[in-house]
Structure formats: structure tokens, C-alpha cells
Amino acid sequence: MIKGIAVSRGIARGPAYVLEDRNGLPVLRRRIRKDGVASELARFETALIEAENNLRAMQKSIRKRLGKREADIFQAHLMLLRDPAFLKQVTHRCSAQQINIEAAVAEAVDHLCGAFARIGDALFRERAADVRDIGRRLLAILLKLLPDEAMEVPPGTILVAAELFPSMTARMSLKSVRGIVTELGGKASHASILMRSLGVPGVIGVKDAVTRIHNGDLLIADGLAGTVYVNPPPAVRREYDRLLASFEAHRQSLKSLVDLPAVTKDGVAVKLCANIGKLGDVEAAFLFNADGVGLYRTEFGFLVRDQFPTEEEQCQTYSTVAERMHPREVVIRVLDIGSDKMLSYFPQPEEANPSLGLRGTRLLLKNPGVLKAQLRAILRVSAAHPVAVLFPTISSVEEILKAKALVGAAGKELRAEGVSFNPNIRIGAMIEVPSAAVLAGRIAAAVDFLSIGTNDLIQYLLSADRASQEMAEYYQPLHPAVLQTIKSVVDAARAAGKDVTVCGEMAGNPACTELLLGFGVRSLSVTPGELLETKNLIRSATIAHAGQLAARVLEMGTCREIEQCVARFAAPRSVLATTSTKLPAQA
């Protein structure tokens, strides 16, 4: 048994599929047929030629700008590309082991770097760094040459990875994966959000998972207890067979809620929407009868590409989503990149602290052409479907006014071109940084609605990186400062007569749902996989009880007090949130 952190509720059982992380590049190790070796080696030769051309172009550019001495650094890389030992390692691994060329390159690089490290000489350590660099260059080229289906994870497996970055997951087909296990990440990291969006059990913080778990190992990933069993004994398997049967019965019982409204026991209606990122999420939101899309994260459509999608391409994508959900509203968040979400074709200056740098609306206002194309696409869709525009990472009234001015400019262009759009399209601001929370009333007066992004709000309020395991104990949704801030934003929005939606992970957290209702929240947006669970919690609660719980909690000063109070007085939780089991220990 390996301990980790549970981030997506449920239990998964199946064979492991290990995704090796080579300097941030996803390398899937695949067996190939013997008659496929020649084509893999041909791809390797093509990649070598492209890498050589790239290096010579860089060498020429640097010689012109900096001089011959600096340019000669790349001569060592050019020589390493054709180093006989390196080529022999790659060729032998591909042909003898019958593995794909990406895996052969990655393993050859690891082998040579390990050999250099054992020598201990400083010169050889530098040579190891050069080998890693050319390995990364070759892998980047090879991965771009792969067809889309090569990034598919075999159905029925549990994906095991060091870390999942948005740029990786956006290119991977994970529709049939049973569960996900990672070494790194936090409860509110994008990888954790992905797991909940997929509705699959997830465990993060599993130390050395990539080296301790091998392809084909039978895994049980317990997304309730935060444990992973590797090739467990029969007694453990039998216990989990029983639990899986209970959970399946629970899920089946929730299906009866699909056509029922999200209404509390004392008759208060709650708007329950879905958070989506990919087109596949839209179908799940529709099937689970969401009241609309409360948060459409458009960046995933940019991450899978090698260049910016055109206005026409964006318009077609947003139309597909809006048409499926019609007549329910789709809130489209404009491109939210920066920090850990970067586009390879949109390089930004390196920042010492990206989370506090150019991201979200700040970045878009610096690049109005990128924003204008997206706004035009959204406005065009608004002519036929109810859509709204949402601006992320707003920190001041000035920012939202500038953003609104660009919406107006985009509309003016379309009007001049004779293109129809809704001139009264709703415009919203995300409240996810402390300054926006303090100014929530003034920002609310400038927009049509607010959306509280709890993931970043918690991170910035508590100075706790949402993606860091080390900071997990400080990243506390039930921290009194977080709860008081959310309550103040809700009050400010209501005073301004504006709608407010909670669209962060707190909205689908069973420990928080009733509290949010008690704070006056009447609109929640959760991942499609959490819609029925959240609806069940809403239908089990009363606003009267939720208000009493909220009043008690707001008087408390510590996380522990609040957690104990919620555990004692909150409405009954779901089976998935409360079930625990005692299992035999396994080393």
C-alpha cells in the first residue's frame, strides 16, 4: 500500500499504465510489431535531421548576435546527435525490445546520463546535461510527429504519472481511463480538476509512483482514503469488490435525480450548472441535465493546437457547445493562460513568480488582438444562443472597464460588417484575488454578474500554492478567512442586485455545499461528474439549517473548529464522501 492524497472520490481497479515524464514531455512506452521497427527508425532519422537543422539555425543566429565563441556551444550538441554510442543505444532498444522510438530515445538518454553521473568528473556532468538537452529536443520533435491516436491511454487502465500538466492532458484521450495516480499536484491543481471532471477516482502525492509501479501491475486506487494498492492480496481485493458494488448501487440511485430540480427540502431553488473544458464535457453536462454551463474553460481548446485558432474556428467550437445546451446559458471564460498554463506558440518572458505575473485578463489586455478575436467569436454565437462572457483574474475596476471596452469595440466592428450579435450579452468578472474580493461591490456595479473562483481565491488569500503538496496543509477551503471573504462577496453582489455563482472546486465539495447555501449562494457550477452528488446534497438540505450552520461557522476562528462544526451539524453526506473501510496493511 502506498499513501497519497485523495482528490477525486471513488474507487478504481485495473492494470497500471505508466506515463513516463521526460523533462515535462509525456512519453508513452508502446510495444511495436517487428515489421514496424523500420518505420520507427525512419522517424528517428527524420527527427535527427530536423534537430540538426534547428541547431544550425540557432548557431547561425547566435553567431550573428553574440559571436563565434558563444555559437560554438551548439557544435557539441550537433556532434552528440550523431554520436555512435547514442545512436547505437537508441537503435538497439527500438529493434531488440520492439518499443516505440520515443521510449527508445528517452531510455537511451537516461542510460547515458546515468553512466556519466557515475564517473563523477565535472566535465562528464556537463556532457550529461548536453545529452539531456538533445534528448528533450528530439522528443519534442518526435511527439509532434505522432498521430493523435498515439496519445491515447489504453481503455480500462489506471494512468500513473509523475505530474499531469494542462498542455499534456489536453492532448491525451482519457475517456476510458478508470483512475489516475500522480506523484505531484495539489487538491486544487489542474490535474485534480481534470480527475473530477472525468468523474474518475484520483490519488495524488503518491511518492515514487512512476518507479514503484510498472505497466500491467494490478492497482486499486482509493479516492476516498487516498491510498494505492499495488498487486494487492486476495483479502484486499474481496473487500474492495464489496465496496465497489456499494458505490455502483449508490451511483445508480443518483440517476433518479437527473430529471428532478435542484431544490432544497424547504423549497428554495438552486441553479446548478456545469464546469466544462472539452467538448466531451458538454455531453455529460447535457445528459446530467445541468441548468447551463457556469464556466467554460476555453484554454483547453488552445492548448491542443500549434497555433492560435482562428476566429472562425473558435466560433464553430463555441456554437457547438451553445447549440447543445440551448436554451440554457453558456458562460464562456476568455482565455486564461499564464502560470502553469502556457502556450508553446505564445512565448512569454520568464517570470520569477508566474502566479503573481501576467496571466488571465492582465495578459489579454497586453495582447488585445488575441482577446479581440475570441470576443468576436463569442459575440457571433450570441446572435443565436444565450452565452455570456467571463473575464478571469480581475484585480481592479479599471481592468474590467478596459475589458468591457474591448467587448464594445468588437461589437462595433461586427456591426460595421453587418454581422448579427446580441448587444446585451451578459458580461461577468471572476473574483479570485483578494483585491477583487475587497472591491466586489464596485466590480459588481460594473458588470452583469460575478463568479467566485475559489481555487485561486484560497491560494492567494492564504499564500498557499494550490498545486503544491508541501502547502496542502495550508490550502484550507474551510479557513475562516476564506469563508468570511466568500460571504462578503456574496453580500456585495446581492446588495448590487447582481447574480453570483461559485464555480471553483468548493462548489462540489460535500463539506462546503451546505455552508455556501447558508451564505446566500443560489448558483453553483461543478464538474459534470459531481452534478448528481451536489444535487443530492442540495435536496437533502434546508436553507434554514444551512443559515444556522453558516452563522455558527462565521463566529469561529480556527479551521479545526469549523471542520468539527460542519461534521456535526451539516446535512447527511453522500456515500462516496463518508464511507471508510479497515483493510489489511500491505507493504
Whether 38 and 251 have beta carbons less than 8 Å apart is answered as no
Beta-carbon contacts of residue 118 (< 8 Å; ≥ 6 apart): none
Q: Name the phi and psi angles at 570, rounded to 5.
A: -70, 160
User: Cell 445546451 identifies what position?
Assistant: 325
Cell numbers 514496424 correspond to what residue? 36
Q: Give the model confidence (pLDDT) of 396-443 as tens digits.
A: 999 999 999 999 999 999 999 999 999 999 999 999 999 999 999 999
Q: What's the pLDDT score for residue 580?
A: 42
Residue type, 514: E
Distances (CA, A) of 417 to 369, 376, 411, 471: 18, 12, 10, 51
CA atoms of 286 and 306, how far apart (whole Å): 30
pLDDT computed for residue 584 by the predictor: 44
Q: Look up the CATH superfamily of 2-22+151-253.
A: Phosphohistidine domain (3.50.30.10)
Extract the residue ranges of the chain whose pLDDT is less than 50: 147-150, 575-587
CA–CA gap between residue 104 and residue 27 (Å, rounded):
10
Catalytic entry in 273, 315, 503, 512 = 503
Query: From CA 569, how far away is CA 535, in angstroms rounded?
Result: 19
Return the pLDDT at 582. Answer: 46
Is 385 assigned a catalytic role? no
State the Cα–Cα distance between residues 184 and 456, nearest whole angstrom: 18
Strands (E), 236-329: 271-276, 293-297
Task: Give me the CATH code for the 258-572 domain, please.
Answer: 3.20.20.60
C-alpha closest to that of 193 among 525, 533, 450, 490: 525
Instruction: Express each pLDDT in 122-168 by its tens digit.
Output: 555 556 767 877 888 898 888 775 543 345 678 899 999 887 766 56
Q: What are 464-511's pLDDT values in tens digits? A: 887 777 788 899 999 999 999 999 999 999 999 999 999 988 998 888
Identify the pLDDT of residue 537: 94
- Specify whether 565 is catalytic: no
Q: Which of 190, 385, 479, 545 is catalytic?
A: 190
pLDDT at residue 6, as a whole number: 87
Q: End-to-end CA distance of the chain, in Å?
A: 6
381, 324 Cβ separation under 8 angstroms: no
What is the chain's Cα-based Rg? 26
**What is the residue-wise DSSP string for 341-357?**
B--TTS-----SSGGGS
List the beta bridge partners of residue 27.
20
Does CATH number 3.10.129.10 belong to domain 34-146?
A: no
**3-class DSSP state of 273:** strand
Residue spans per domain, the chain: 2-22+151-253, 34-146, 258-572
Is it true that the peptide bond before 327 is cis, omega within 30 degrees of 0? Answer: yes
How many Å apart are CA 172 and CA 189, to the nearest integer?
Answer: 18
